[in-house]
Amino acid sequence: MAILGIDVGGTFTDAVLLVEGALRTVKVPTVRAQEHSVLKAAAAVGASAAPLERFTHGTTIATNALLERKGARTAFVGTAGFEHALHLRRQTRAHLYRLCDDHPEPLVPLERCVGVHERVGPDGVIEPLELDSLPPLDADAVAVCLLFSFRDATHERLVAEEVRRRLPHAHVVASHEVAPEFREYERASTTAVDAYLGPVLSTYLGSLADRCREAGLAEPLVMRSSGGVCTLAEAARHPAFVLVSGPAAGVVGAAYVARAAGVENAISLDMGGTSTDVCLIAGGRAGRAGRREVGGFPIRLPTVDLQTVGAGGGSIAWRDAGGALRVGPQSAGADPGPACYGRGGLEPTVTDANLALGRLPDALAGGLALDRAAAELALGDLEPADVIAAVNAEMLRALRLVSVERGHDPRDFALVAFGGAGPLHACELADELGIEKVLVPAAAGVLSALGLVASDERRDRVRSYVIPFEEAGLLPREGEVDLRYRGQSYELTVPLGDDPLEAFHRAHEERYGYADRTRTVELVAVRTAEVTPGPEIRLAGAPPQPTAAAGPLRGPAELAGTPPAAGPAAGPAGAPGAATATAGTIAGPAVVELEGATCWIPPGWEGVRDGNSTLVLTRT
């Protein structure tokens, strides 16, 4: 039996097939109709030759549709008098120091925001529901979000049923189905996003299911934002559950690689063609959050606690009005791609800079030949090293946010670098943060797909309370709980366990410098998860030799076509030179070709393979 994972990215679609411990990987270009990329990758990796025990898929369809605002024509139904919740938002500014910055335009215009006469309060019905007050709706998707439906969903359920009766072909979402939590605006925003994306994602997933059936493949599971997987039907019903599907799979893969290397605390660095995602992994577990923003819209759902910056291999370098060098968030994408791809791209990118510095081979995975002359022409008067420094600065901002700004010392963590471009920048980023160890998996270029193979089945649940803790009654022993002192606006999330109250006091003291054990504590919500462990994966180990599984270890001099000089490389930091490899160890400067990625080992670093073919880089 075999396990298949396919992750669709903006540039490449990655496939991993695990058959009795042997790993097969492949990368194919992503096409506009992503289901065809999935089938092409499955065929290329040989999925049809072995019966599949499980097939898991990661997609960016929902994310891209939200960012590009290509969702359905959506209406919003709220309690009369509160129908404009999406437009009122919170009073906070879009940016603290940029007074002219605007919030993104709501997904539902004012003319399609309507109210229905009803009112539920914290203690029950205040005004009865008048279904006849619901005005006519003209939309392909409808979000229903009534006051206090997280506590009593009776009115909201009846309104949703009436909307489905009137618009049988519309995608209708009620807030208690997707985000049954207090805070009106965040719940409304999550519901609107879920409805807006429904027709887009359900069309794609339906087409994918049909194509898989025709090809004799099992229907895939879909990666959720929380790091587990769900069925196609569940994902189609609530697209907000899979908004960061692919990046979440990368974190799952990074946590697996770290555990296999005996590392409990790590920071994942996933640098692709358009963006970089980072996440803190503490005690072998990826951090999770109950809320995040995507495209400027708050999403109140469990998610892997990722931070994303618009810095990738295809990010375009440019100068702003003041002449300062900037990189991203604009990207050359897959078509035409960086100038060095030879497909008509003319603007300088991070990949062009890495090639000009001798940190890339002459051809990438899949046989894509790189044109060094085209890269240098596109860069013009831009210094390649300056472009790399600029993009590193963007990634450092995200790395510091998940570590230093949350009270973690990055020196206590290893850096797990993956994605097509992550291993090219990892050591320099580690130098800036004082990190002593970098892990680069052999399957770095397809680690998100490997994470899909290794992922659990996970279904998250949340129950809102907003009552004094002592009135809550019996609580589950497993999961997390949101607590706050009465009168506070925001809560802290702590594990349930034996004494959640004491855990909260300790967390409050650590975060704010004090705790008041005599003050009433309010229970806001309880978060639990139903988890079915993923398959046991044991990758075949490889001896720690310089030419082991991931391909040859070569110095930039070899890549340029000149024979390597004997002994350690000389020259300034980052300058192309020869590699030194003794007893399975390679010292920088050197280039390591991996499965679908390339690793740059700068001077002052050396690498050795462990028993799982992970390249362990340490400072010399």
The answer as to whether 562 is a domain residue is: no
Question: Quick check: is 582 in a domain?
Answer: no
464 and 374 in a single domain? The answer is: no
> Do 76 and 180 reside in the same domain of the chain?
yes
Please report whether residue 145 resides in a domain: yes
Query: Are 606 and 618 contacting, i.e. CB atoms less than 8 angstroms apart?
Result: yes
Which residues, including other chains, have CB under 8 Å from residue 368's CB and lie 6 or more apart?
A: 341
Residue that is written with structure tokens 């605390």 in the block: 265
Residue 506, in any domain of the structure: yes
Q: Is residue 587, in this structure, part of any structural domain at all?
A: no
Q: Give 293-326 pLDDT, tens digit per residue.
A: 887 889 998 888 888 888 889 899 999 989 999 9
Read off the DSSP letter of residue 530. E
Residues 357 and 461 in one domain: no
Confidence tier at 199 by pLDDT (50, 70, 90) = very high
Q: Are 574 and 603 in contact (CB under 8 A)?
A: yes
Print the domain residue range for 463: 456-532
At how many degrees (to 10) do helices 34-44 and 184-214 cross? 50
Per-residue pLDDT tens digits for 164-178: 999 999 999 999 999
pLDDT at 585: 84
Is 74 inside any structural domain? yes
CB-side neighbour CA atoms (13 Å) of 357: 27
**Does residue 383 share a domain with residue 460?**
no
| Coil, strand or helix at 526 | strand
Together in a domain, 79 and 185: yes
Whether residues 89 and 192 share a domain: the answer is yes
Q: Is 438 helix (H, G, I), strand (E, B) or coil?
A: strand
Strands 368-369 and 363-364, how do they pair?
antiparallel
The answer to whether 313 and 321 have CB atoms below 8 angstroms apart is no
Q: Are residues 483 and 365 in the same domain?
A: no
As a whole-number percent, the residues of the chain with pLDDT over 70 amount to 92
Domain count, the chain: 3
Please name the residue that has the structure tokens 């997707």. 178
Q: How far apart are CA 457 and CA 35, in angstroms?
A: 22
pLDDT, average across residues 337-365: 91
Residue that finishes a domain, picked among 482, 511, 532: 532
Is the pLDDT at 573 greater than 50? The verdict is no
* DSSP 8-state assignment for residue 324: -
Mean pLDDT, to the nearest integer, of 31-59? 88
- The two structure tokens encoding residue 424: 């090219």
Indicate the residue among 362, 387, 412 that finishes a domain: 387
489 and 380 part of one domain? no
Residue that has been written with the tokens 């309104």 in this structure: 159
Closest CA to 58 of 295, 213, 277: 277
Q: Which amino acid is at 525?
A: A
Backbone angles phi, psi at 54, to 5 degrees: -160, 145
**Do residues 366 and 477 share a domain?**
no
Which two tokens mark 46? 């040989």
Last residue of a domain, one of 357, 387, 417: 387
What is the model's pLDDT at position 366?
Answer: 61
User: By the 8 A CB rule, do 613 and 594 touch?
Assistant: no
Cis peptide before 533 (omega within 30 of 0): no
Strand runs labelled E in 95-165: 113-116, 119-121, 124-127, 141-145
Average pLDDT over residues 22-48: 87
Identify whether the C-beta of residue 327 lies closer than 8 Å to the C-beta of residue 275.
no
The type of residue at 351 is T
Conformational region of residue 69, where left means phi above 0, alpha means psi within -120 to 50, and beta covers everything else: left
Whether residues 75 and 175 fall in one domain: yes
Do 484 and 382 sit in the same domain of this protein? Answer: no
Which DSSP string corresponds to 30-42?
A: --SSHHHHHHHHH
Tell me whether the omega of the peptide bond preceding residue 546 falls within 30 degrees of 0, making it cis: no
Cα(first)–Cα(last) distance of the chain, in Å? Answer: 43
- Within-domain flag for 501: yes
- Give me the amino acid identity at 94: A
Q: Are residues 383 and 460 in the same domain?
A: no
In a domain, 156, yes or no: yes
Is the distance from CB of 64 to CB of 11 less than 8 angstroms? no
Check the CA dihedral 514-516-520-526 and report its sign. positive
CA dist., res. 284 & res. 300, Å (int): 25
Residue 555 or residue 128, greater confidence: 128
- Enter the pTM of the model: 0.81
- Collapsing DSSP to helix, strand or coil, 269 comes out as strand
327 pLDDT tier (thresholds 50, 70, 90): very high
